[in-house]
């Protein structure tokens, strides 16, 4: 979402780094480019004005003029102010001390509240909580049915005593229902069933209206929630500010959740809502899957915008996706000197895919903004093709790829729906990975080439012998005979250093009794 803004800011700082000293004109030009980039990203004008003013004031201060690298200091200032705009430090959810924690969702229709309810429930379930969803959106057609489906996918129970609005297929004799009574009944049910968290999904509208606010306020007053989360579509641009202010005045929400953060919009909502409302952004929805949900960290998001990467989030996702026992088994296998097989490669690829989109993971690495075109052209289906190829092999072929001849490659290609060329490319990449794993296994022994104290160094081992043999072949018979005679003479003539570290060699032995030695030293001479 922040690709355009990130590219603009990165380009601005790249021009700034080429200058050894920064004048006031340089700083003004940089602030001007930053202001344009933020406005193009649909950030609210008051937020842009405040941000540019603070950055300019700090950039002209002593902290930049006295710095060893003024350009880096300006980047540091922009990063810190971006963190402040996004809310400063991350704030976790407020949980109730006794009884179930009540979380109420509010927002416009289409913002993604119902799906986000399932994502939040799954996230809390993974943390050890026992959440329950309450279907209090009785106006949007099939909203209750959708919440039931989402709850089933997340493995979380859904309290839905009323079917809600079924559209043209509305149940005969069923009234529109009272969402306030449904929310109250859901709270009592959660207490009875001893659920630790309940998430109340409320109705939305296509625009801010008084009826929506009154209904949301009535539900809030009835259930007294610990958290009121305002779900906002990160793609709506400048309208985000007016919508957020209206909901803040109507229901006084306690936190913000950004949905559709994986879209291709310019992302101004994320940079505006926290500063305008003064309420922190707690979570972000980054995709359609229930697992595409992450805790919002302002400092990490600022690093992503400035193309500095987000390694901490990448590590956290890896810890969730990778099997600890499998990692220990793989480490022990390498330590024991066993070969890395295609079966192991398949397991690693599957665990890597469990982390989510490869594009998202690669995008969290520092400097990937410079490779955005290649990243956009990355084919996510490549992992599926690799998995199909390996699964089309026999166990023997996975353990020993060298037995895969031409006929076997043709069979594997037909079984996986690929071509022989793709099979060859995979085997070549795997061979390179296997060699790397072998070198890692050798470690401090005869492993890495060109390293001191390790094998396969230039002029050592078989290669050195091969070079000497090649040199001998180039010699004439007379030259080889002369070299042999010289080697014989060298063997017969003792060198000064032979037999002694001090160069005494075959010289006449010295009688220790003739030496004037200090008293008591003769016992060390073996006498």
Asked if residue 203 belongs to a known ligand binding site, the reply is: yes
Asked if residue 112 belongs to a known ligand binding site, the reply is: yes
Asked if residue 504 belongs to a known ligand binding site, the reply is: no
Asked if residue 204 belongs to a known ligand binding site, the reply is: yes
Asked if residue 110 belongs to a known ligand binding site, the reply is: yes
DSSP 8-class letter at 336: T
Asked if residue 360 belongs to a known ligand binding site, the reply is: no
Tokens 């949007």 correspond to 140
C-beta separation of 440 from 450 below 8 A: no
Backbone phi, psi, residue 233, to 5°: -75, 120
Asked if residue 258 belongs to a known ligand binding site, the reply is: no
Which H, E and C letters describe 20-45, residue by residue?
CCCCHHHHHHHHHHHHHHHHHCCCCH
Please spell the DSSP secondary structure of 181-244, one letter per residue.
HHHHHHHHHHHHTT-SEEEEE----SS--HHHHHHHHHHHHHH--SEEEEEEETTSTTHHHHHH
Structure tokens at 102: 């009540």
Question: What CA–CA distances, in Å, run from 390 to 347, 384, 397, 401, 434?
Answer: 10, 10, 9, 10, 15
Query: How many other β-carbons are positioned within 10 Å of the β-carbon of residue 64?
Result: 19
Helix axes 70-85, 24-40, angle to 10 degrees: 30
Classify 87 in phi/psi space as left (phi over 0), alpha (psi -120 to 50) or beta.
Answer: left
DSSP 8-class letter at 403: G
SS3 assignment, position 132:
strand
Asked if residue 108 belongs to a known ligand binding site, the reply is: yes
Asked if residue 324 belongs to a known ligand binding site, the reply is: no
Structure tokens at 283: 């979570």
Which H, E and C letters describe 248-308, residue by residue?
HHHHCCCEEEEECCCCCCCCHHHHHHHHHHCCCEEEEECCCCCCCEEECCHHHHHHHHCCC
- Taking the alpha carbons at both ends of the chain, their separation in whole angstroms is 88
Q: Which of 294, 291, 274, 273 shows the shortest CA–CA distance to 283?
A: 294
Q: How many helices (H) and strands (E) does the chain have?
A: 23, 8
Asked if residue 201 belongs to a known ligand binding site, the reply is: yes
Tokens 């306690």 correspond to 254
Asked if residue 263 belongs to a known ligand binding site, the reply is: no
Asked if residue 527 belongs to a known ligand binding site, the reply is: no
Q: Quick one: 234 exposed, middle or buried, by C-beta within 10 A (0-12, 13-18, 19+)?
A: buried
Question: What CA–CA distances, in Å, run from 351 to 318, 321, 387, 393, 442?
Answer: 9, 6, 12, 20, 26
Asked if residue 238 belongs to a known ligand binding site, the reply is: no
Asked if residue 261 belongs to a known ligand binding site, the reply is: yes
> Chain-centre distance of CA 72, in angstroms?
25
Asked if residue 12 belongs to a known ligand binding site, the reply is: no
Q: Which residues belong to the annotated binding site?
A: 107-114, 201-205, 259-262
Question: Annotated binding residues for GTP, as ranges?
Answer: 107-114, 201-205, 259-262
């Amino acid at each position: 979402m922040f690709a355009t803004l990130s590219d603009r800011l990165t380009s601005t700082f790249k021009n700034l780094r080429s200058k050894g000293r920064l004048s006031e004109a340089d700083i003004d030009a940089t602030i001007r480019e930053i202001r344009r980039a933020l406005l193009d990203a649909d950030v609210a004008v008051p937020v842009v004005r405040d941000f540019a003013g603070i950055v300019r004031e700090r950039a002209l201060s002593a902290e930049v003029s006295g710095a060893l690298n003024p350009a880096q200091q300006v980047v540091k200032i922009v990063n810190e102010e971006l963190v402040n705009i996004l809310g400063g430090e991350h704030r976790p959810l407020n949980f109730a001390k006794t009884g179930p924690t009540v979380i109420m969702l509010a927002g416009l229709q289409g913002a993604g509240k119902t799906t986000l309810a399932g994502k939040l429930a799954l996230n809390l379930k993974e943390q050890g909580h026992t959440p329950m969803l309450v279907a209090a959106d009785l106006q949007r057609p099939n909203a209750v049915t959708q919440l039931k489906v989402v709850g089933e996918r997340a493995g979380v129970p859904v309290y839905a005593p009323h079917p809600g609005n079924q559209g043209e297929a509305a149940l005969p004799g069923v009234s529109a229902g009272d969402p306030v009574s449904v929310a109250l009944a859901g709270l009592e049910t959660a207490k009875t069933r001893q659920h630790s968290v309940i998430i109340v999904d409320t109705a939305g509208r296509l625009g801010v209206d008084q009826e929506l606010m009154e209904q949301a306020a009535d539900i809030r007053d009835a259930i007294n929630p610990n958290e009121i989360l305002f779900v906002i579509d990160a793609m709506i641009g400048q309208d985000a500010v007016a919508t957020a202010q209206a909901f803040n005045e109507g229901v006084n929400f306690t936190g913000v959740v950004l949905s559709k953060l994986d879209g291709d919009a310019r992302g101004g909502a994320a940079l505006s809502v926290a500063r305008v409302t003064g309420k922190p952004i707690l979570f972000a929805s980054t995709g359609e899957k229930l697992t595409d949900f992450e805790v919002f960290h302002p400092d990490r998001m600022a690093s992503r915008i400035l193309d500095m990467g987000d390694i901490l989030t990448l590590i956290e996702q890896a810890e969730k996706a990778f099997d600890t026992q499998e990692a220990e088994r793989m480490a022990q296998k390498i330590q024991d000197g066993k070969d890395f097989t295609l079966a192991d490669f398949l397991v690693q690829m599957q665990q890597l895919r469990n982390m989510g989109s490869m594009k998202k993971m690669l995008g969290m690495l520092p400097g990937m903004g410079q490779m955005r075109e290649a990243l956009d052209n990355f084919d996510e289906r490549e992992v599926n093709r690799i998995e199909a190829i390996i699964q089309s092999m026999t166990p023997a072929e996975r353990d020993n790829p060298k037995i895969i001849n031409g006929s076997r490659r043709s069979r594997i290609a037909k079984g996986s729906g690929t071509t022989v060329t793709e099979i060859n490319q995979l085997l070549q990449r795997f061979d390179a990975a296997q060699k790397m794993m072998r070198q890692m296994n050798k470690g401090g022994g005869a492993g890495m080439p060109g390293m001191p104290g390790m094998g396969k160094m230039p002029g050592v081992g078989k290669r050195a012998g091969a070079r000497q043999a090649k040199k001998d072949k180039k010699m004439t018979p007379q030259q080889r005979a002369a070299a042999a005679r010289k080697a014989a003479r060298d063997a017969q003539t003792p060198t000064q250093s032979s037999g002694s570290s001090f160069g005494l060699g075959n010289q006449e032995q010295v009688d220790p009794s003739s030496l004037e030695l200090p008293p008591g030293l003769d016992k060390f001479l073996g006498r």
